[in-house]
Amino acid sequence: MSSPWEWLAALSLLLELSKNCLSLCEKIGSRPGAILLLITIKCNTTDSMAAEKENMTLNNLVKCPKNSKIMAENRLLEPLLSNLIE
């Protein structure tokens, strides 16, 4: 089992990778269960820093329309609704 420090370091890396590269956002979203895991952690964590990193990562992943669809399929509807409004 990973320590909290390792988990936070992994979240930080994922956040950095998702910031500037659309192809990396697509690759992250295409991993089975990746977005579901991010959503689950965002909703269930008591660590405010981890929740913030999760939220920022999910916001970055929305750059890829497929990811918005996957998020909606996993009951995170805001990104898809925002895309539809725009």
Per-residue model confidence as pLDDT tens for the chain (86 residues):
578 788 889 999 999 999 988 899 999 999 999 999 999 888 888 888 888 999 999 999 998 989 999 999 999 998 888 877 87
Query: Which pTM was predicted?
Result: 0.86
| Alpha carbon distance 77, 11 (integer Å) | 22
| Alpha carbon distance 70, 74 (integer Å) | 6
| 5: its two tokens | 């420090």
